[in-house]
Structure 1
Protein backbone atom coordinates (compact mmCIF):
# COMPACT_ATOMS: atom_id res chain seq x y z
CA UNK A 1 0.00 0.00 0.00
CA UNK A 2 1.45 3.34 -1.03
CA UNK A 3 1.94 6.29 1.29
CA UNK A 4 -0.71 8.25 -0.66
CA UNK A 5 -3.27 5.46 -0.19
CA UNK A 6 -2.49 5.16 3.52
CA UNK A 7 -2.88 8.92 3.93
CA UNK A 8 -6.19 8.86 2.10
CA UNK A 9 -7.54 6.01 4.24
CA UNK A 10 -6.51 7.87 7.39
CA UNK A 11 -8.38 10.89 6.09
CA UNK A 12 -11.52 8.79 5.55
CA UNK A 13 -11.20 7.34 9.04
CA UNK A 14 -10.93 10.79 10.60
CA UNK A 15 -13.81 12.06 8.50
CA UNK A 16 -16.00 9.17 9.62
CA UNK A 17 -15.37 10.07 13.26
CA UNK A 18 -16.44 13.66 12.59
CA UNK A 19 -19.80 12.87 10.98
CA UNK A 20 -22.65 14.42 12.90
CA UNK A 21 -25.06 11.62 12.07
CA UNK A 22 -24.85 7.96 11.33
CA UNK A 23 -27.62 7.15 8.90
CA UNK A 24 -30.14 4.34 8.83
CA UNK A 25 -30.08 2.08 5.80
CA UNK A 26 -31.86 3.50 2.77
CA UNK A 27 -33.10 0.05 1.64
CA UNK A 28 -34.40 -0.60 5.17
CA UNK A 29 -36.22 2.75 5.14
CA UNK A 30 -37.87 1.83 1.84
CA UNK A 31 -38.88 -1.60 3.10
CA UNK A 32 -40.37 -0.07 6.25
CA UNK A 33 -42.53 2.39 4.34
CA UNK A 34 -43.80 -0.22 1.89
CA UNK A 35 -44.62 -2.72 4.64
CA UNK A 36 -46.39 0.00 6.61
CA UNK A 37 -48.47 0.83 3.54
CA UNK A 38 -49.40 -2.84 3.20
CA UNK A 39 -50.49 -2.87 6.85
CA UNK A 40 -52.70 0.20 6.40
CA UNK A 41 -54.12 -0.83 3.03
CA UNK A 42 -54.32 -4.61 2.61
CA UNK A 43 -55.16 -4.23 -1.06
CA UNK A 44 -51.41 -3.83 -1.68
CA UNK A 45 -50.27 -6.85 0.35
CA UNK A 46 -48.12 -9.57 -1.14
CA UNK A 47 -48.68 -13.26 -0.42
CA UNK A 48 -46.22 -13.34 2.49
CA UNK A 49 -47.68 -10.30 4.21
CA UNK A 50 -51.24 -11.51 3.69
CA UNK A 51 -50.50 -14.67 5.65
CA UNK A 52 -49.44 -12.76 8.78
CA UNK A 53 -51.62 -11.48 11.59
CA UNK A 54 -52.18 -7.73 11.86
CA UNK A 55 -50.77 -7.58 15.39
CA UNK A 56 -47.70 -9.55 14.35
CA UNK A 57 -47.08 -7.17 11.44
CA UNK A 58 -47.61 -4.17 13.71
CA UNK A 59 -45.04 -5.44 16.23
CA UNK A 60 -42.54 -6.18 13.49
CA UNK A 61 -42.93 -2.69 12.04
CA UNK A 62 -42.44 -1.17 15.48
CA UNK A 63 -39.17 -3.08 15.79
CA UNK A 64 -38.09 -1.96 12.32
CA UNK A 65 -38.79 1.68 13.14
CA UNK A 66 -36.77 1.44 16.36
CA UNK A 67 -33.95 -0.08 14.31
CA UNK A 68 -34.10 2.86 11.88
CA UNK A 69 -33.94 5.28 14.82
CA UNK A 70 -30.92 3.71 16.52
CA UNK A 71 -28.19 5.24 14.29
CA UNK A 72 -29.77 8.63 15.06
CA UNK A 73 -30.08 8.02 18.80
CA UNK A 74 -27.63 10.74 19.86
CA UNK A 75 -29.75 13.32 18.04
CA UNK A 76 -33.21 12.15 19.10
CA UNK A 77 -35.22 13.97 21.79
CA UNK A 78 -35.90 10.71 23.67
CA UNK A 79 -35.34 6.97 23.45
CA UNK A 80 -35.97 5.34 20.04
CA UNK A 81 -38.58 3.04 21.61
CA UNK A 82 -40.51 5.99 23.05
CA UNK A 83 -40.56 7.88 19.75
CA UNK A 84 -41.69 4.77 17.89
CA UNK A 85 -44.58 4.38 20.34
CA UNK A 86 -45.56 8.02 19.85
CA UNK A 87 -45.47 7.58 16.07
CA UNK A 88 -47.74 4.55 16.16
CA UNK A 89 -50.09 6.36 18.55
CA UNK A 90 -50.57 8.92 15.76
CA UNK A 91 -51.02 6.30 13.04
CA UNK A 92 -54.86 6.24 13.25
CA UNK A 93 -55.00 9.99 12.50
CA UNK A 94 -52.57 9.56 9.57
CA UNK A 95 -54.73 6.71 8.27
CA UNK A 96 -57.88 8.88 8.35
CA UNK A 97 -56.08 11.66 6.45
CA UNK A 98 -54.96 9.15 3.82
CA UNK A 99 -58.50 7.89 3.35
CA UNK A 100 -59.57 11.47 2.62
CA UNK A 101 -56.77 11.82 0.08
CA UNK A 102 -57.68 8.53 -1.61
CA UNK A 103 -61.36 9.47 -1.74
CA UNK A 104 -60.53 12.85 -3.25
CA UNK A 105 -58.66 11.11 -6.05
CA UNK A 106 -61.34 8.45 -6.59
CA UNK A 107 -64.11 11.09 -6.64
CA UNK A 108 -62.40 13.59 -8.94
CA UNK A 109 -60.47 11.49 -11.44
CA UNK A 110 -62.75 10.08 -14.17
CA UNK A 111 -60.16 7.38 -14.84
CA UNK A 112 -60.27 6.05 -11.27
CA UNK A 113 -62.37 2.88 -11.14
CA UNK A 114 -62.30 2.36 -7.37
CA UNK A 115 -60.70 3.36 -4.10
CA UNK A 116 -58.68 0.13 -4.22
CA UNK A 117 -57.21 1.10 -7.58
CA UNK A 118 -56.16 4.50 -6.22
CA UNK A 119 -54.42 2.90 -3.24
CA UNK A 120 -52.77 0.17 -5.28
CA UNK A 121 -51.43 2.00 -8.32
CA UNK A 122 -51.75 5.80 -8.17
CA UNK A 123 -48.31 7.41 -7.73
CA UNK A 124 -49.88 10.61 -6.41
CA UNK A 125 -51.53 8.77 -3.55
CA UNK A 126 -48.34 6.87 -2.71
CA UNK A 127 -46.26 10.06 -2.62
CA UNK A 128 -48.85 11.81 -0.42
CA UNK A 129 -48.99 8.81 1.94
CA UNK A 130 -45.22 8.71 2.38
CA UNK A 131 -45.20 12.48 2.91
CA UNK A 132 -47.82 12.25 5.69
CA UNK A 133 -45.86 9.51 7.46
CA UNK A 134 -42.58 11.42 7.09
CA UNK A 135 -44.22 14.66 8.23
CA UNK A 136 -45.33 13.00 11.46
CA UNK A 137 -41.79 11.77 12.11
CA UNK A 138 -40.49 15.28 11.50
CA UNK A 139 -43.07 16.56 13.99
CA UNK A 140 -41.57 14.13 16.51
CA UNK A 141 -38.14 15.77 15.93
CA UNK A 142 -36.65 12.78 14.13
CA UNK A 143 -33.74 14.02 11.98
CA UNK A 144 -32.87 12.88 8.45
CA UNK A 145 -35.14 9.83 8.28
CA UNK A 146 -38.22 11.85 7.17
CA UNK A 147 -36.29 13.22 4.20
CA UNK A 148 -34.95 9.77 3.46
CA UNK A 149 -38.50 8.45 3.24
CA UNK A 150 -39.79 11.21 0.95
CA UNK A 151 -36.76 10.85 -1.29
CA UNK A 152 -37.53 7.14 -1.53
CA UNK A 153 -41.05 8.06 -2.67
CA UNK A 154 -39.50 10.57 -5.07
CA UNK A 155 -37.42 7.81 -6.64
CA UNK A 156 -40.51 5.60 -7.00
CA UNK A 157 -42.96 8.20 -8.35
CA UNK A 158 -41.09 11.24 -9.69
CA UNK A 159 -42.98 13.35 -7.10
CA UNK A 160 -40.82 15.39 -4.70
CA UNK A 161 -42.64 16.50 -1.52
CA UNK A 162 -40.51 17.85 1.31
CA UNK A 163 -41.62 16.40 4.67
CA UNK A 164 -41.65 19.90 6.16
CA UNK A 165 -44.47 21.10 3.89
CA UNK A 166 -47.89 21.61 5.49
CA UNK A 167 -50.63 19.95 3.45
CA UNK A 168 -54.30 19.91 4.35
CA UNK A 169 -56.79 17.07 3.87
CA UNK A 170 -58.16 15.76 0.57
CA UNK A 171 -55.01 16.54 -1.43
CA UNK A 172 -55.04 15.25 -5.02
CA UNK A 173 -51.98 14.92 -7.26
CA UNK A 174 -53.09 13.85 -10.76
CA UNK A 175 -50.49 11.95 -12.81
CA UNK A 176 -47.80 13.59 -10.73
CA UNK A 177 -44.52 13.16 -12.58
CA UNK A 178 -42.28 16.15 -11.93
CA UNK A 179 -44.33 17.69 -9.09
CA UNK A 180 -42.16 19.57 -6.56
CA UNK A 181 -43.47 20.82 -3.21
CA UNK A 182 -40.91 22.80 -1.20
CA UNK A 183 -40.19 22.67 2.52
CA UNK A 184 -42.16 25.73 3.66
CA UNK A 185 -45.10 25.31 1.30
CA UNK A 186 -48.55 25.56 2.90
CA UNK A 187 -51.42 23.84 1.07
CA UNK A 188 -55.03 24.05 2.23
CA UNK A 189 -57.93 21.65 1.85
CA UNK A 190 -59.22 20.10 -1.38
CA UNK A 191 -56.31 21.23 -3.53
CA UNK A 192 -55.70 19.53 -6.88
CA UNK A 193 -52.30 19.58 -8.60
CA UNK A 194 -51.32 18.19 -12.00
CA UNK A 195 -48.02 16.87 -13.31
CA UNK A 196 -44.98 19.13 -13.55
CA UNK A 197 -46.20 21.69 -11.00
CA UNK A 198 -43.50 23.40 -8.93
CA UNK A 199 -44.28 25.07 -5.61
CA UNK A 200 -40.83 26.45 -5.05
CA UNK A 201 -38.64 29.28 -3.86
CA UNK A 202 -37.09 32.17 -5.66
CA UNK A 203 -33.32 32.30 -5.21
CA UNK A 204 -32.51 33.03 -1.57
CA UNK A 205 -29.35 33.09 0.50
CA UNK A 206 -28.48 30.17 2.76
CA UNK A 207 -29.12 32.46 5.73
CA UNK A 208 -32.81 32.44 4.75
CA UNK A 209 -33.08 28.66 5.25
CA UNK A 210 -35.38 29.00 8.28
CA UNK A 211 -37.64 31.60 6.62
CA UNK A 212 -40.78 30.89 4.62
CA UNK A 213 -39.51 30.52 1.07
CA UNK A 214 -42.33 28.68 -0.67
CA UNK A 215 -45.90 29.68 -1.59
CA UNK A 216 -49.20 29.29 0.23
CA UNK A 217 -52.05 27.62 -1.65
CA UNK A 218 -55.45 28.17 -0.07
CA UNK A 219 -58.47 25.84 -0.11
CA UNK A 220 -60.12 24.48 -3.28
CA UNK A 221 -57.37 25.57 -5.68
CA UNK A 222 -56.63 23.73 -8.94
CA UNK A 223 -53.14 24.03 -10.45
CA UNK A 224 -52.74 22.66 -13.97
CA UNK A 225 -49.75 21.00 -15.58
CA UNK A 226 -46.29 22.61 -15.53
CA UNK A 227 -47.36 25.72 -13.62
CA UNK A 228 -44.60 27.24 -11.48
CA UNK A 229 -45.49 29.19 -8.33
CA UNK A 230 -42.58 30.68 -6.40
CA UNK A 231 -41.85 32.69 -3.28
CA UNK A 232 -42.68 32.70 0.40
CA UNK A 233 -44.93 35.76 0.10
CA UNK A 234 -46.93 34.36 -2.80
CA UNK A 235 -50.47 33.39 -1.82
CA UNK A 236 -52.94 31.77 -4.21
CA UNK A 237 -56.39 32.69 -2.94
CA UNK A 238 -59.02 30.05 -2.33
CA UNK A 239 -61.15 28.68 -5.17
CA UNK A 240 -58.66 29.88 -7.79
CA UNK A 241 -57.57 28.09 -10.97
CA UNK A 242 -53.97 28.35 -12.16
CA UNK A 243 -53.63 27.38 -15.81
CA UNK A 244 -50.97 25.23 -17.40
CA UNK A 245 -47.45 26.64 -17.87
CA UNK A 246 -48.19 29.72 -15.76
CA UNK A 247 -45.19 31.37 -14.05
CA UNK A 248 -46.41 33.08 -10.88
CA UNK A 249 -44.35 35.03 -8.34
CA UNK A 250 -47.04 37.29 -6.87
CA UNK A 251 -50.24 36.69 -4.94
CA UNK A 252 -53.66 36.34 -6.56
CA UNK A 253 -57.05 37.01 -5.00
CA UNK A 254 -59.59 34.28 -4.23
CA UNK A 255 -61.66 33.06 -7.20
CA UNK A 256 -58.93 34.10 -9.66
CA UNK A 257 -58.38 32.47 -13.03
CA UNK A 258 -54.73 32.76 -14.07
CA UNK A 259 -53.63 31.57 -17.50
CA UNK A 260 -51.20 32.25 -20.30
CA UNK A 261 -52.70 34.03 -23.27
CA UNK A 262 -51.35 32.77 -26.54
CA UNK A 263 -52.65 32.05 -30.01
CA UNK A 264 -52.68 28.64 -31.64
CA UNK A 265 -53.33 28.53 -35.38
CA UNK A 266 -54.96 25.41 -36.83
CA UNK A 267 -55.03 25.17 -40.60
CA UNK A 268 -55.92 22.46 -43.04
CA UNK A 269 -53.06 21.18 -45.14
CA UNK A 270 -55.46 20.98 -48.09
CA UNK A 271 -55.53 24.78 -48.41
CA UNK A 272 -51.74 25.07 -48.71
Structure 2
Protein backbone atom coordinates (compact mmCIF):
# COMPACT_ATOMS: atom_id res chain seq x y z
CA UNK A 1 0.00 0.00 0.00
CA UNK A 2 1.25 3.52 -0.76
CA UNK A 3 2.62 5.59 2.09
CA UNK A 4 0.00 8.23 1.15
CA UNK A 5 -2.62 6.02 2.83
CA UNK A 6 -0.84 5.87 6.16
CA UNK A 7 -1.65 8.48 8.83
CA UNK A 8 0.98 11.04 9.71
CA UNK A 9 3.23 9.91 12.57
CA UNK A 10 2.32 11.21 16.00
CA UNK A 11 5.20 13.21 17.52
CA UNK A 12 6.77 11.75 20.63
CA UNK A 13 5.68 13.32 23.87
CA UNK A 14 9.18 14.69 24.49
CA UNK A 15 9.60 16.14 20.97
CA UNK A 16 11.52 19.39 21.37
CA UNK A 17 11.23 22.26 18.84
CA UNK A 18 13.46 24.71 20.68
CA UNK A 19 10.50 27.10 20.65
CA UNK A 20 11.91 29.58 23.14
CA UNK A 21 14.86 30.35 20.86
CA UNK A 22 12.66 30.55 17.75
CA UNK A 23 10.18 32.92 19.44
CA UNK A 24 13.06 35.12 20.63
CA UNK A 25 14.59 35.25 17.14
CA UNK A 26 11.23 36.10 15.60
CA UNK A 27 10.82 38.93 18.11
CA UNK A 28 14.24 40.28 17.13
CA UNK A 29 13.20 40.14 13.46
CA UNK A 30 10.07 42.15 14.27
CA UNK A 31 12.08 44.71 16.22
CA UNK A 32 14.55 45.11 13.35
CA UNK A 33 11.67 45.70 10.93
CA UNK A 34 9.94 48.17 13.24
CA UNK A 35 13.18 50.00 13.90
CA UNK A 36 13.90 50.33 10.18
CA UNK A 37 10.42 51.81 9.66
CA UNK A 38 10.28 54.03 12.74
CA UNK A 39 7.87 51.81 14.67
CA UNK A 40 9.74 50.93 17.84
CA UNK A 41 6.98 52.25 20.09
CA UNK A 42 5.09 49.70 22.14
CA UNK A 43 2.14 48.11 20.31
CA UNK A 44 -0.81 47.47 22.60
CA UNK A 45 -3.22 46.17 19.94
CA UNK A 46 -3.48 45.42 16.24
CA UNK A 47 -2.77 48.63 14.33
CA UNK A 48 -3.76 47.63 10.77
CA UNK A 49 -7.08 46.59 9.23
CA UNK A 50 -7.97 42.92 9.01
CA UNK A 51 -8.42 41.19 5.66
CA UNK A 52 -10.56 38.53 7.31
CA UNK A 53 -12.88 41.15 8.81
CA UNK A 54 -13.16 42.92 5.46
CA UNK A 55 -14.05 39.68 3.69
CA UNK A 56 -16.95 39.20 6.10
CA UNK A 57 -18.02 42.83 5.66
CA UNK A 58 -18.01 42.55 1.87
CA UNK A 59 -19.98 39.30 1.99
CA UNK A 60 -22.57 41.00 4.16
CA UNK A 61 -22.71 44.05 1.89
CA UNK A 62 -23.25 41.83 -1.15
CA UNK A 63 -26.12 40.21 0.70
CA UNK A 64 -27.71 43.59 1.37
CA UNK A 65 -27.29 44.65 -2.25
CA UNK A 66 -28.87 41.44 -3.63
CA UNK A 67 -30.64 39.90 -0.62
CA UNK A 68 -32.76 37.28 -2.40
CA UNK A 69 -29.81 36.03 -4.44
CA UNK A 70 -26.69 36.61 -2.33
CA UNK A 71 -28.33 36.73 1.09
CA UNK A 72 -29.02 33.76 3.40
CA UNK A 73 -30.67 30.69 1.83
CA UNK A 74 -33.68 30.80 4.17
CA UNK A 75 -34.54 34.47 3.53
CA UNK A 76 -38.17 35.21 2.67
CA UNK A 77 -39.66 38.19 0.90
CA UNK A 78 -41.58 39.39 3.95
CA UNK A 79 -38.38 39.68 6.01
CA UNK A 80 -36.18 41.12 3.23
CA UNK A 81 -36.12 44.71 4.50
CA UNK A 82 -35.50 43.59 8.07
CA UNK A 83 -32.57 41.45 6.93
CA UNK A 84 -31.12 44.30 4.86
CA UNK A 85 -31.40 46.81 7.70
CA UNK A 86 -30.05 44.48 10.38
CA UNK A 87 -27.18 43.19 8.23
CA UNK A 88 -26.27 46.62 6.93
CA UNK A 89 -26.12 48.05 10.46
CA UNK A 90 -23.77 45.28 11.57
CA UNK A 91 -21.62 45.54 8.43
CA UNK A 92 -21.28 49.32 8.65
CA UNK A 93 -20.31 49.18 12.32
CA UNK A 94 -17.70 46.54 11.50
CA UNK A 95 -16.48 48.70 8.62
CA UNK A 96 -16.25 51.68 10.97
CA UNK A 97 -13.78 49.76 13.15
CA UNK A 98 -11.61 49.04 10.10
CA UNK A 99 -11.77 52.66 8.88
CA UNK A 100 -10.65 53.84 12.34
CA UNK A 101 -7.62 51.57 12.08
CA UNK A 102 -6.64 52.89 8.67
CA UNK A 103 -7.08 56.55 9.62
CA UNK A 104 -4.99 56.05 12.76
CA UNK A 105 -2.36 54.31 10.63
CA UNK A 106 -2.39 57.20 8.13
CA UNK A 107 -1.93 59.70 10.95
CA UNK A 108 1.08 57.81 12.30
CA UNK A 109 2.63 57.50 8.85
CA UNK A 110 2.26 61.21 8.16
CA UNK A 111 3.08 62.40 11.67
CA UNK A 112 -0.35 63.97 12.10
CA UNK A 113 -2.61 64.29 15.12
CA UNK A 114 -5.12 61.43 15.13
CA UNK A 115 -7.64 63.29 17.31
CA UNK A 116 -10.05 63.76 14.38
CA UNK A 117 -9.85 60.14 13.30
CA UNK A 118 -13.09 59.14 15.06
CA UNK A 119 -15.21 61.90 13.51
CA UNK A 120 -13.60 61.36 10.11
CA UNK A 121 -14.22 57.61 10.29
CA UNK A 122 -17.92 58.09 11.04
CA UNK A 123 -18.22 60.58 8.17
CA UNK A 124 -16.52 58.20 5.71
CA UNK A 125 -18.75 55.27 6.62
CA UNK A 126 -21.86 57.46 6.50
CA UNK A 127 -20.98 58.64 3.00
CA UNK A 128 -20.12 55.10 1.93
CA UNK A 129 -23.51 53.89 3.15
CA UNK A 130 -25.30 56.72 1.32
CA UNK A 131 -23.62 55.62 -1.90
CA UNK A 132 -24.83 52.01 -1.75
CA UNK A 133 -28.07 52.58 -3.72
CA UNK A 134 -26.00 54.13 -6.52
CA UNK A 135 -23.62 51.15 -6.43
CA UNK A 136 -26.62 48.82 -6.72
CA UNK A 137 -27.73 50.76 -9.82
CA UNK A 138 -24.29 50.42 -11.43
CA UNK A 139 -24.20 46.70 -10.64
CA UNK A 140 -27.63 46.23 -12.21
CA UNK A 141 -26.21 47.71 -15.42
CA UNK A 142 -23.17 45.42 -15.18
CA UNK A 143 -25.31 42.31 -14.72
CA UNK A 144 -27.51 43.23 -17.69
CA UNK A 145 -24.40 43.88 -19.80
CA UNK A 146 -23.04 40.44 -18.91
CA UNK A 147 -26.33 38.74 -19.76
CA UNK A 148 -26.69 40.58 -23.06
CA UNK A 149 -23.01 40.16 -23.95
CA UNK A 150 -22.73 36.41 -23.45
CA UNK A 151 -24.86 34.08 -25.60
CA UNK A 152 -24.18 31.28 -23.10
CA UNK A 153 -25.94 33.19 -20.29
CA UNK A 154 -29.47 31.90 -19.70
CA UNK A 155 -30.58 34.50 -17.14
CA UNK A 156 -29.44 37.53 -15.20
CA UNK A 157 -29.61 35.36 -12.09
CA UNK A 158 -27.09 32.91 -13.55
CA UNK A 159 -24.79 35.84 -14.31
CA UNK A 160 -25.02 37.23 -10.79
CA UNK A 161 -24.55 33.87 -9.08
CA UNK A 162 -21.90 32.30 -11.31
CA UNK A 163 -19.79 34.79 -13.26
CA UNK A 164 -16.35 35.66 -11.82
CA UNK A 165 -16.36 38.92 -13.77
CA UNK A 166 -19.46 40.03 -11.87
CA UNK A 167 -17.84 39.08 -8.56
CA UNK A 168 -14.77 41.14 -9.43
CA UNK A 169 -16.79 44.14 -10.59
CA UNK A 170 -19.01 44.00 -7.49
CA UNK A 171 -15.93 44.14 -5.28
CA UNK A 172 -14.51 46.92 -7.44
CA UNK A 173 -17.62 49.09 -7.11
CA UNK A 174 -17.37 48.82 -3.31
CA UNK A 175 -13.58 49.23 -3.28
CA UNK A 176 -13.65 52.25 -5.58
CA UNK A 177 -16.09 54.00 -3.26
CA UNK A 178 -13.75 53.42 -0.31
CA UNK A 179 -10.78 54.57 -2.39
CA UNK A 180 -12.55 57.82 -3.33
CA UNK A 181 -13.47 58.40 0.33
CA UNK A 182 -9.84 58.36 1.45
CA UNK A 183 -9.21 54.84 2.76
CA UNK A 184 -7.07 53.33 -0.02
CA UNK A 185 -5.64 50.51 2.09
CA UNK A 186 -9.10 49.14 2.85
CA UNK A 187 -10.02 49.59 -0.81
CA UNK A 188 -6.96 47.66 -1.96
CA UNK A 189 -7.68 44.85 0.48
CA UNK A 190 -11.25 44.52 -0.83
CA UNK A 191 -9.91 44.43 -4.39
CA UNK A 192 -7.36 41.75 -3.51
CA UNK A 193 -10.05 39.57 -1.96
CA UNK A 194 -11.72 39.47 -5.38
CA UNK A 195 -8.36 39.05 -7.12
CA UNK A 196 -7.60 35.97 -5.07
CA UNK A 197 -11.06 34.51 -5.72
CA UNK A 198 -11.37 35.26 -9.45
CA UNK A 199 -7.90 35.90 -10.89
CA UNK A 200 -9.11 39.36 -12.01
CA UNK A 201 -6.94 42.23 -10.78
CA UNK A 202 -8.70 45.62 -10.77
CA UNK A 203 -7.02 48.42 -8.87
CA UNK A 204 -9.64 50.28 -6.79
CA UNK A 205 -8.51 53.59 -8.24
CA UNK A 206 -9.65 52.65 -11.76
CA UNK A 207 -12.72 54.60 -12.90
CA UNK A 208 -15.24 52.36 -14.63
CA UNK A 209 -18.53 53.42 -16.21
CA UNK A 210 -21.85 51.55 -16.21
CA UNK A 211 -22.56 48.40 -18.17
CA UNK A 212 -19.08 46.92 -17.69
CA UNK A 213 -18.60 43.25 -18.54
CA UNK A 214 -15.55 41.01 -18.11
CA UNK A 215 -16.18 37.68 -19.85
CA UNK A 216 -14.34 34.63 -18.44
CA UNK A 217 -11.94 37.07 -16.81
CA UNK A 218 -8.93 35.09 -15.60
CA UNK A 219 -5.76 37.15 -15.97
CA UNK A 220 -7.42 40.53 -16.56
CA UNK A 221 -5.37 43.42 -15.12
CA UNK A 222 -6.69 47.00 -14.86
CA UNK A 223 -4.32 49.63 -13.47
CA UNK A 224 -4.89 52.36 -10.92
CA UNK A 225 -5.36 55.32 -13.28
CA UNK A 226 -7.28 53.51 -16.03
CA UNK A 227 -10.49 55.23 -17.15
CA UNK A 228 -13.16 53.03 -18.71
CA UNK A 229 -16.33 54.39 -20.27
CA UNK A 230 -19.82 52.95 -20.55
CA UNK A 231 -20.73 49.56 -22.03
CA UNK A 232 -17.14 48.32 -22.35
CA UNK A 233 -16.48 44.59 -22.69
CA UNK A 234 -13.20 42.81 -21.90
CA UNK A 235 -12.22 39.19 -22.30
CA UNK A 236 -9.72 37.08 -20.38
CA UNK A 237 -6.05 38.04 -20.06
CA UNK A 238 -6.56 41.66 -21.13
CA UNK A 239 -4.09 44.11 -19.59
CA UNK A 240 -4.72 47.84 -19.24
CA UNK A 241 -1.29 48.69 -17.89
CA UNK A 242 1.48 51.25 -17.70
CA UNK A 243 4.12 51.55 -20.40
CA UNK A 244 6.74 53.14 -18.17
CA UNK A 245 7.08 54.45 -14.63
CA UNK A 246 8.13 58.03 -14.00
CA UNK A 247 10.71 58.71 -11.29
CA UNK A 248 9.79 61.19 -8.57
CA UNK A 249 11.75 64.37 -9.38
CA UNK A 250 11.97 65.26 -5.67
CA UNK A 251 13.36 61.91 -4.64
CA UNK A 252 17.10 61.35 -4.20
CA UNK A 253 16.68 57.57 -4.14
CA UNK A 254 15.08 57.14 -7.56
CA UNK A 255 11.68 56.30 -6.07
CA UNK A 256 8.79 56.00 -8.51
CA UNK A 257 6.34 58.87 -8.77
CA UNK A 258 2.94 58.01 -7.29
CA UNK A 259 -0.47 58.77 -8.74
CA UNK A 260 0.66 59.86 -12.22
CA UNK A 261 -1.80 59.10 -15.08
CA UNK A 262 -0.14 56.11 -16.73
CA UNK A 263 -2.89 53.72 -17.77
CA UNK A 264 -5.20 53.73 -20.81
CA UNK A 265 -8.43 55.62 -21.36
CA UNK A 266 -11.03 53.33 -22.91
CA UNK A 267 -14.01 55.22 -24.30
CA UNK A 268 -17.63 54.02 -24.52
CA UNK A 269 -18.74 50.87 -26.38
CA UNK A 270 -15.24 49.39 -26.81
CA UNK A 271 -14.65 45.63 -27.03
CA UNK A 272 -11.19 44.24 -26.19
CA UNK A 273 -10.63 40.58 -26.98
CA UNK A 274 -8.60 37.97 -25.12
CA UNK A 275 -4.92 38.49 -24.51
CA UNK A 276 -4.75 42.11 -25.69
CA UNK A 277 -2.15 44.27 -23.92
CA UNK A 278 -2.78 48.02 -23.94
CA UNK A 279 -0.10 50.12 -22.28
CA UNK A 280 0.40 53.76 -21.38
CA UNK A 281 -1.79 56.85 -21.19
CA UNK A 282 -3.33 56.30 -24.60
CA UNK A 283 -6.95 56.55 -25.72
CA UNK A 284 -9.00 53.79 -27.30
CA UNK A 285 -11.65 55.68 -29.24
CA UNK A 286 -15.37 55.09 -28.83
CA UNK A 287 -16.79 52.01 -30.51
CA UNK A 288 -13.41 50.48 -31.30
CA UNK A 289 -12.71 46.75 -31.40
CA UNK A 290 -9.28 45.54 -30.26
CA UNK A 291 -8.47 42.03 -31.44
CA UNK A 292 -7.00 39.18 -29.47
CA UNK A 293 -3.31 39.24 -28.51
CA UNK A 294 -2.81 42.78 -29.84
CA UNK A 295 0.04 44.75 -28.25
CA UNK A 296 -0.93 48.43 -28.37
CA UNK A 297 0.98 51.48 -27.12
CA UNK A 298 -0.55 54.17 -29.35
CA UNK A 299 -3.98 55.80 -29.36
CA UNK A 300 -6.58 54.74 -31.90
CA UNK A 301 -9.45 56.90 -33.19
CA UNK A 302 -13.14 56.11 -32.64
CA UNK A 303 -14.52 53.19 -34.60
CA UNK A 304 -11.14 51.51 -35.09
CA UNK A 305 -10.83 47.77 -35.71
CA UNK A 306 -7.34 46.82 -34.57
CA UNK A 307 -5.87 43.38 -35.24
CA UNK A 308 -2.33 42.05 -35.26
CA UNK A 309 -2.40 42.10 -39.07
CA UNK A 310 -3.48 45.72 -39.51
CA UNK A 311 -1.02 46.88 -36.84
CA UNK A 312 1.73 45.66 -39.16
CA UNK A 313 0.19 47.40 -42.20
CA UNK A 314 -1.22 50.70 -40.97
CA UNK A 315 0.26 53.52 -38.83
CA UNK A 316 -1.90 54.45 -35.86
CA UNK A 317 -2.60 57.82 -34.31
CA UNK A 318 0.30 58.76 -32.00
CA UNK A 319 -0.41 58.83 -28.31
CA UNK A 320 -0.83 62.24 -26.60
CA UNK A 321 2.13 63.73 -24.81
CA UNK A 322 2.13 63.50 -20.99
CA UNK A 323 1.44 67.25 -20.77
CA UNK A 324 -1.75 66.95 -22.82
CA UNK A 325 -3.00 63.56 -21.73
CA UNK A 326 -6.32 63.46 -19.94
CA UNK A 327 -6.18 63.11 -16.18
| TM-score category, normalised to shorter length | 0.7 to 0.9
Alignment of 1:47-126 (within 5 A): 47=73, 53-74=83-104, 75=106, 78-126=119-167
2:322 is aligned to none
Q: Whose Rg is larger?
A: 2
2:57 is aligned to 32
**Equivalents in 2 of 1:48, 1:154: separation in Å?**
29
Confirm or deny that 1:235 pairs with 2:299.
no
1:11 is aligned to 32
Confirm or deny that 1:244 pairs with 2:292.
yes
Contact 1:151 1:160 in 2 (8 A): yes
Contact 1:41 1:119 in 2 (8 A): no
1:220–1:163 Cα change, 3 Å: same
1:99–1:253 Cα change, 3 Å: same
Contact 1:186 1:216 in 2 (8 A): yes
1:270 is aligned to none
1:210 is aligned to 259
Shift in Å, 1:167? 0.6
**Equivalents in 2 of 1:13, 1:204: separation in Å?**
29
TM-score, structure 1 as length reference:
0.88
**Equivalents in 2 of 1:49, 1:60: separation in Å?**
17
Select the residue among 296, 309, 312 that pairs with 1:261. 309
1:13–1:166 Cα change, 3 Å: closer
What residue ranges of structure 2 are gaps of 5+ in the alignment? Answer: 1-19, 41-45, 108-116, 249-256, 311-327
**Equivalents in 2 of 1:63, 1:129: separation in Å?**
21
Shift in Å, 1:48? 6.8
Shift in Å, 1:188? 0.6
Q: What secondary structure is seen at the aligned counterpart in 2 of 1:53?
A: helix
Give the paired residue count: 260
1:17–1:132 Cα change, 3 Å: same
Contact 1:229 1:249 in 2 (8 A): yes
2:71 is aligned to 45
RMSD, matched Cα: 2.4
Tell me the alpha carbon deviations over residues 159-193 of structure 1, each in whole angstroms, 9 at most, x when there is no partner. 00000011111001000000000001011111000
1:193 is aligned to 234
1:13–1:108 Cα change, 3 Å: closer
What residue ranges of structure 1 are gaps of 5+ in the alignment? Answer: 263-272
Select the residue among 138, 143, 149 that pairs with 2:179. 138
Q: Which moved more, 1:79-88 or 1:117-126?
A: 79-88
TM-score, structure 2 as length reference:
0.74
Contact 1:218 1:237 in 2 (8 A): yes
**Equivalents in 2 of 1:53, 1:114: separation in Å?**
25
Select the residue among 153, 156, 166 that pairs with 2:194. 153
Tell me the alpha carbon deviations over residues 14-39 of structure 1, each in whole angstroms, 9 at most, x when there is no partner. 468629x9321111111111111111
**Equivalents in 1 of 2:212, 2:308: separation in Å?**
25
Select the residue among 200, 203, 223 that pairs with 2:272. 223
1:32–1:9 Cα change, 3 Å: closer
